[in-house]
Chain A
Amino acid sequence: METIQPSTFDLVVLGTGLAESIVAAAAAKAGKSVLQLDPSPHYGGSWASLRLSELRSLLQSLSPSNAASEGRQARQAAASGIVEGEIWQQQPEADLGPDAQYSIDLAPKVAYGGGPLIQLLLGSGAHHYLEFKLVQGSYLLNLGRDDARAASQGQPPLQTVPSSRSDVFKDRMLSPLQKRSIMRFLKAAAEALEGQGPLKDAFGDQPVQELLAQQGLDKQLQLSVLHGVLMADCVPGQAPGTAASQQQQPDNLLPFQTQLTAEQALQRLRVYLQSSGRYGADTGPFLTPLYGGGELPQAFCRAAAVAGAVQVLRCGVEGLVLEEAEEGTPGCCTGVKLSSGQVIGCQHLAASETSEHLEAFCTRGGTPCTTLRCAAILDGPLVAGKQQTLVCVLPSAEPAAQAGTAASPQATPPPVVRALAVCSSTAVCPPGRYLLYLWAAAPPVGADSDGSSAQQQAARVLQPVLAALADASELQRAAAPCGQQSAEPTVLPAAPGAKPRVLWAAFYSQSTSIRFAAHHSSGGGGGSQWPANVVPCPGPDASATFISAVEGAKQCYRLLFPPAGGANVDFPLDTRVQRQAEQQQGEPGDEQAAAASGLAEADSDDELVAALQAALQPAARPGIEPAALP
């Protein structure tokens, strides 16, 4: 290993995950000298996109029989936060196509087109390195509904989430009454964002469900807004309750609980409305990067390098150099010792929370935050004619009604599951093959009484959802998986209306946010063993979007380099964006007229047309103006 020059840096970053890379790029941009290290041969850590063979061997390294033999991959699994995993395959084994054309996200998410991630990309210049595709449809699948259970063979009854201004009108599953109530609500919310209208004081700290119910949205619309628009996640353990709590619930409230307050919901609505229609009329708010989410950390790493940061892959770290502190006060980290023996001095250290070197400071007993994940390869699109789709799957309130879970009645109900379908148009799999990701927050540890774990938790929770979305009947748990590939995958014609078949699926659990939570809950005082100049960077959580990761990264940066001029000092990567915001205003023009004419065909109620336009046309666009389709 080459000696790294120079041998001291303002900031050493351990890991190349998304948050680590954002912190590195921000610090480099602020003029700090930055060294970023990763023991693995590729960028991305918990956020990487892997080839099929790489994911396979990563998960196989977790099985106890392989623990000793494949140390490198086991370490990589640990660095990715993956704690258990298993592979299921179609029998007989299907032809999956060229391995090199797969780019499977370990932690898939979607980006708001006008959200904080895109702002950071623009602010850092990293947007030059990426291309995106629009998520073309957003849906809700309520497994608690009778028709969802009945449709075990054909297409599941997906409900469209209103993501563009004409979606509401086009949707044949919405009654005129429902269309009116959703438009009224969105109009009032848009006004409230500007401090006007009947709801301007209504978005307080009450649970958002209460507000949605008060505004006359029926249950279906409440679910649609809550999970499809506000992207609220079900809080494990509080979700569809026991028989007792169901009895207590007023009829107009949902059986799902979230901790989202109305005030927080309004801010999410702002991002949603700013993102919808940004890349052309009638487009939804979400983007997904070409070649997979693993490109994002790479883009920020490159931005960091452009600003002078030094990156070294395949560079193991033996340990941290800690300065002895007085009794009762945490010491400081003054450097890292590399596997090569070289010692690098540092003023600050940021490390992926999965880094083993943080364990010395870890407060034990914190609640682990585990995300259950599934990456499946299908032989057809999830929704015919749509290349990228997002689905929110609401579990059945009655566990017994779920197919495939004949096991003991679960102590906690299944969580809300996010599903993202992508295909070769985003260059993440070969033509003729389709990727379907599922993920959900794991119920708290201890809730699963049957610790026997013949079936691991990820498969137990997600396999029934996979079976509801696609035809998983030929899927079996692989005992001894082996690779098989050819130049071109064969495409068998599917019966019309039939679900795509699942050819291959990986179920795994990714454990994150343990140390991050422990660090912050300690509040810097009482018994905290954290060195003052060390910050853990959060890994991917179970949320659907990148917002939490970006906010976490910004928080890390501020902990490392507290802003001198108060809390609202610019984040280094935001500056260009903010400068632009002063120069530009939104420019509604032809688009508005075209949208209006389109709406008029669908509904003659002029007032409501105007209302919907007002709601879905972001009146005060922020400065960043990502381009239209080329």
Chain B
Amino acid sequence: MIDQLVQSKLVLLGEMGSGKTSLVQRFVRGQYYENQESTIGASFFTKAIPEKHVKFEIWDTAGQERYHSLAPMYYRGAAAAIVVYDVTHPASFDRAKKWVLELRQNVQNPNLIIALVGNKVDLAEDGARQVPEADARTYAAETGLLFFEASAKTNVNVAELFDEVADRLPRAAAPQQPAGGIQLSEQPTPVPAKSSCC
């Protein structure tokens, strides 16, 4: 079954503290949890959604966004991006708009799916909301982004967000990635008896 999953790279962007990592933690440790998590720390996750035939390779920024020093490698071959802001911090929403621009500049994949996510809606009920939902929804519609308000803490809209991204992915793998690249792996993989290509 695993062979039928389309591997898709998904990158996370957003200001420090907007909740990128907690969104992913919530998603990866949710009901679809498979024990495929990478062991290299909290910045690279894999997560399959078998019924949607997708296996996400999720890249977190590892803090490199803090001083605007993300490597171009971060964007390479990305099929989807989730741009996160904090609904209680207007500055993080402005920063999110800049990330959208940077994504469009750096990712050459014309089919790139971008989802804008207002995180921490659980705090909005307490009156802490600073970014009106209508503003963000209008901006997302104008710019062609998916839009969700979510809460990693109370598990609102997290699964829905990733499901929607998975639904929008083109059926083929990311077209920008030249096929047949060798991925190094620590797992012993049987060498094919006869290599047919190359």
Contact = CB atoms under 8 A, between A and B. Distances in A.
Interface of A: 2, 4, 42-43, 100, 118, 121-122, 125, 127-134, 136, 277-283, 287, 290-291, 295, 298-299, 301-303, 305-308, 310-315, 424-427, 576, 580, 584, 587, 589-591, 593-594, 624-630
A131 B181 contact: yes
Interface string B58-75: 000011101111011110
Given A280-B192, A306-B43, A425 B64 contact: no
Nearest to B195: A280
Nearest to B66: A310
B31 interface: no
B130 interface: no
**Highest count of chain A CB atoms <10 Å: which of B67, B183, B191:** B191
Contacts, number: 152
A201 B74 CA distance: 50
Contacts of A630: 180, 182-183
Contact of B69 (A121, A133, A299, A312): A312
Interface residues of B, number: 42
B92 to A, nearest CB: 16
Contacts of B192: 280-281, 591, 628-629
A282 B73 contact: no
A391 B98 CA distance: 45
A626 B73 contact: no
B154 to A, nearest CB: 28
Interface of B: 38-44, 57, 62-64, 66-69, 71-74, 76, 108, 176-178, 180-195, 197-198
B187 A594 contact: no
A461 B190 CA distance: 45
A313 B68 CA distance: 7
Given A100-B108, A281-B195, A302-B64, A628 B184 contact: no
Which residue among A2, A118, A127, A626 has the maximum number of chain B CB atoms within 10 Å of its CB?
A626
A132 B184 contact: yes
A127 B185 contact: yes
B62 A298 contact: no
Given A311-B67, A629-B180, 15 more contacts: A43-B72, A125-B44, A128-B40, A128-B57, A129-B73, A131-B177, A132-B183, A279-B182, A290-B181, A298-B72, A312-B67, A313-B68, A625-B186, A627-B189, A630-B180
Contacts of A136: 198
Contact of B184 (A122, A295, A298): A122
Contacts of A295: 73, 76
19 contacts: A2-B67, A125-B39, A125-B40, A125-B41, A128-B40, A131-B177, A133-B180, A133-B182, A136-B198, A280-B198, A281-B194, A298-B73, A301-B64, A310-B63, A312-B67, A425-B178, A427-B177, A624-B186, A630-B180
Nearest to B42: A306
A43 B190 CA distance: 35
A129 B68 CA distance: 19
Given A100-B108, A131-B182, A625-B186, A280 B191 contact: yes
B178 A290 contact: yes
A315 B193 contact: no
A354 to B, nearest CB: 20
A2 B190 CA distance: 50
